[in-house]
């Protein structure tokens, strides 16, 4: 029995004889209907996936039927902001069905008493002792209340009411109600867990969306930053080249310009890495394989790092097969891969160190005729430089991954080069692996590329900036973007005119017929598309090769002819290599030049 600490409600029902719980074990017990109970529990189990209120309503309907009661319901605990508590009739069946949602106090109600006593309780005429039941229209002769267990505290109570003096509850009803209360506990626990899981899933989804949005903003920023940095690099590059020619007789000036040029080339490599990383993220860095010679690809890559090798006095040993090896690959992209690996070796090998590049590939002449299966070329770059910590090896191809050693070097880069290398090697259906025994032990990178084929091609001509003299029109609303390039082209013997608007260009071609016109697409007023349409209408420009200039590399994703009358296009600002290639291939209207 409860002690002196019992609540007023418990003391009241004990004093008035309202509690008849002890009689449950002395009353005549009806025979258990296990078959009906089992069928009801199976039916309840099938409702576990339904919304919580629907499942609870089915449960009280079952309690009403199995206990042959007049009313049945579930009272669940609620806690309010003012710290007060209450029970809400979340599901009600029978004559009290219209009272669903009714609130009763937790400290002065049958459910509160049952929970305080911690066991099922039987109340006689409970309306006489509890004002909260005054809303029940019919008389209540008995109410059987069973706590619904929970963790850490009870969820509430399951109850049945009798409105008929001839129907009294017994221990069998208590057993049935206790069984249903346990089922209610399980169902509410599942519902609660599902709700918490849904909240966590929503939070995780929101976090994922926020991360995706942040990644997108970062990619957009990197792309914009790359283009914004790249725009002034072209004029600076051209101005440096022009200054070197103008200062041919001044060794001191040439020495200073050489320093500036080396740093500019380093900055261009960083910007190229930024743009390539952005293209990789958006799936726009594609490869367009063609037949070529592996030796030419390797020689171009070696030429790209020759200045760095000479400056650091490295010993570079290049070993090629004694026979020409024909490959089916994207030569510029594969050159980029090999030069990137060589440049890493140059950066992280101390002055006077050793770098070795070994190419192992089968002789295409030994491949049987009609056999189109690609053979494997293996390219290995080894150095005796700084090496890589073993813990970093699994992550060296991750974007923006850098070792502590790299961060201490002025030419350390951004940690995107190897990520681009990995992407391009996979695009060639190849594999790349990197190994090192640790700091100070050097590094070895191995490329395996299934690109060797039987087809034979001639050696490519050596790369040169030499361009046959031509009449060139530069059209750009930015004067700085064309001034240095115009000066450099003029020093090379070209006749160059500049226009800062479409209208100025139209007036200029009345007296100056260009062989080539390089036109910025995005100009205020008359844009490049409108200008090229009007130039095509002029007879004197019938043979002029019209080249589009755009800072948006994302729109240039394939080798198809350029729309709106352009013969080809260059990414803005154009490098000398890009321009030389366009002028040499002026008869090829299908070509695409993708400068880096």
Structure tokens at 89: 């009739």
Alpha carbon 230 to its chain centroid, in Å, reads: 25
For residue 424, the surrounding DSSP H or E stretch is helix 417-427
User: Closest by alpha carbon to 332, among 370, 281, 289?
Assistant: 289
Instruction: Annotate 53-87 with three-state secondary structure.
Output: HHHHHHHHHHHHHHCCCCEEEEEEEEECCCCCEEE
283 dihedral zone (left: phi>0; alpha: psi -120 to 50; beta): left
- Beta carbons of 358 and 379 less than 8 angstroms apart: yes
Q: Domain 8-196 adopts which CATH fold?
A: Beta-Lactamase (3.30.450)
Which strands, in side-by-side order, build the sheet including 85-94?
A: 103-105, 85-94, 71-79, 156-162, 142-148, 121-124
Instruction: Annotate 337-359 with three-state secondary structure.
Output: HHHHHHHHHHHCCCCCCEEEEEE
| pLDDT value of residue 593 | 34
- Architecture category of domain 471-584 in CATH: 3-Layer(aba) Sandwich (3.40)
For residue 546, the surrounding DSSP H or E stretch is strand 545-550
What is the CB-side half-sphere exposure of residue 223 using CA atoms within 13 A? Answer: 16
Q: What is the pLDDT along the chain (596 residues), one digit of tens a residue?
A: 555 578 899 999 999 999 999 999 898 887 777 777 777 777 776 766 666 678 888 889 989 998 999 999 999 988 765 556 899 999 999 999 999 999 998 889 999 999 999 999 999 999 999 999 999 988 999 999 999 998 788 899 999 999 998 899 999 999 989 988 888 888 788 777 878 888 888 888 888 888 777 767 766 666 666 666 666 777 777 788 788 788 877 877 877 777 677 667 656 666 666 666 666 666 666 678 888 889 888 888 888 788 788 888 888 888 888 888 888 888 888 888 898 899 888 988 999 899 999 999 998 888 888 777 888 999 999 999 888 888 887 777 765 555 555 444 444 444 456 778 888 888 889 998 888 888 888 899 999 999 888 766 654 433 334 457 889 999 988 776 677 677 767 766 788 899 999 999 999 999 999 999 999 888 888 988 999 999 999 989 988 999 988 766 544 433 344 556 888 888 766 766 667 777 766 544 433 333 32
| pLDDT value of residue 274 | 63
Please give the backbone phi and psi of residue 495, each rounded to the nearest 5 degrees, phi first: -95, 115
- Beta carbons of 559 and 330 less than 8 angstroms apart: no
- Beta carbons of 154 and 148 less than 8 angstroms apart: yes
Q: What angle do CA 134, 136, 142 make, to 5 degrees?
A: 95
Specify the DSSP class assigned to residue 132: G
| pLDDT value of residue 560 | 41
Alpha carbon 21 to its chain centroid, in Å, reads: 64
Helix (H, G, I), strand (E, B) or coil at 146: strand
Strands (E), 273-398: 290-293, 315-319, 326-329, 354-360, 375-383
| CATH class of domain segment(s) 289-452 | alpha beta
| pLDDT value of residue 182 | 87
**Domain boundaries along the sequence of the chain:** 8-196, 289-452, 471-584
């Amino acid at each position: 029995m409860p002690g002196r600490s019992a609540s007023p409600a418990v003391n009241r029902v004990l004093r008035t004889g309202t509690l008849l719980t002890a009689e449950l074990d002395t009353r005549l017990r009806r025979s258990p209907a296990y078959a009906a109970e089992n069928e009801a529990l199976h039916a309840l189990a099938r409702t576990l996936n339904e919304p919580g209120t629907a499942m609870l309503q089915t449960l009280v309907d079952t309690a009403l039927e199995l206990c042959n009661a007049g009313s049945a319901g579930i009272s669940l605990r609620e806690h309010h902001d003012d710290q007060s508590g209450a029970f809400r009739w979340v599901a009600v069946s029978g004559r009290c069905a219209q009272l669903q949602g009714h609130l009763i106090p937790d400290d002065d109600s049958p459910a509160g008493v049952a929970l305080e006593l911690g066991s099922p309780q039987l109340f006689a005429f409970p309306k006489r002792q509890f004002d909260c039941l005054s809303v029940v229209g019919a008389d209540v002769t008995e109410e059987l209340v069973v706590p619904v267990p929970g963790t850490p505290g009870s969820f509430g109570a399951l109850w049945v009411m009798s409105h008929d003096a001839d129907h009294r509850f017994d221990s069998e009803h208590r057993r049935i109600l206790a069984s249903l209360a346990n089922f209610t506990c399980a169902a509410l626990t599942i519902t609660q867990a599902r709700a918490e899981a849904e909240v966590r899933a929503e939070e995780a989804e929101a976090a994922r969306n926020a991360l995706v949005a942040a990644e997108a903003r970062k990619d957009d920023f990197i792309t914009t930053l790359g283009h914004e940095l790249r725009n002034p690099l072209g004029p600076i590059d051209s101005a440096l080249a022009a200054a070197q020619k103008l200062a041919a007789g001044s060794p001191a000036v040439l020495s200073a310009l050489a320093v500036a040029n080396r740093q500019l080339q380093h900055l261009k490599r960083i910007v190229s890495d930024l743009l390539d990383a952005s293209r990789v993220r958006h799936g726009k860095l594609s490869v367009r394989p063609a037949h070529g010679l592996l030796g030419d690809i390797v020689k171009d890559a070696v030429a790209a790092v020759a200045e760095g090798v000479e400056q650091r006095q490295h010993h570079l040993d290049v070993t090629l097969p004694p026979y020409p090896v024909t490959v089916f690959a994207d030569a510029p992209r594969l050159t980029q891969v090999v030069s990137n690996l060589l440049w890493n070796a140059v950066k992280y090998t101390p002055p006077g160190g050793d770098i070795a590049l070994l190419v192992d590939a089968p002789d295409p002449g030994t491949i049987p005729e009609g056999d189109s299966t690609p053979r494997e070329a293996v390219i290995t770059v080894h150095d005796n430089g700084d090496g890589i910590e073993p813990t970093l090896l699994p992550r060296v191809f991750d974007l923006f991954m850098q070792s502590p050693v790299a961060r201490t070097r002025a030419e350390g880069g951004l940690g995107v080069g190897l990520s681009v290398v990995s992407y391009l090697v996979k695009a060639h259906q190849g594999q790349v692996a990197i190994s090192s025994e640790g700091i100070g032990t050097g590094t070895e990178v191995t490329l395996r590329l299934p690109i060797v084929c039987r087809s034979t091609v001639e050696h490519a001509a050596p790369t040169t900036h030499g361009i046959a003299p031509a009449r060139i029109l530069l059209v750009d609303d930015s004067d700085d973007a064309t001034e240095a390039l115009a000066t450099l082209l003029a020093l090379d013997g070209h006749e160059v005119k500049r226009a800062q608007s479409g209208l100025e260009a139209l007036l200029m071609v009345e007296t100056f017929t260009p062989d080539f016109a390089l036109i910025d697409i995005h100009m205020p007023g008359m844009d490049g598309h409108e200008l090229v349409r009007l130039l095509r209408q002029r007879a004197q420009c019938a043979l002029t090769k019209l080249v589009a200039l755009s800072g948006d590399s994302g729109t240039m994703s394939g080798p198809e002819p350029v729309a709106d009358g352009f013969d080809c296009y260059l990414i803005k600002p154009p490098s000398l290599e890009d321009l030389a290639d366009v002028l040499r291939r002026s008869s090829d209207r299908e070509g695409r030049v993708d400068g880096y």
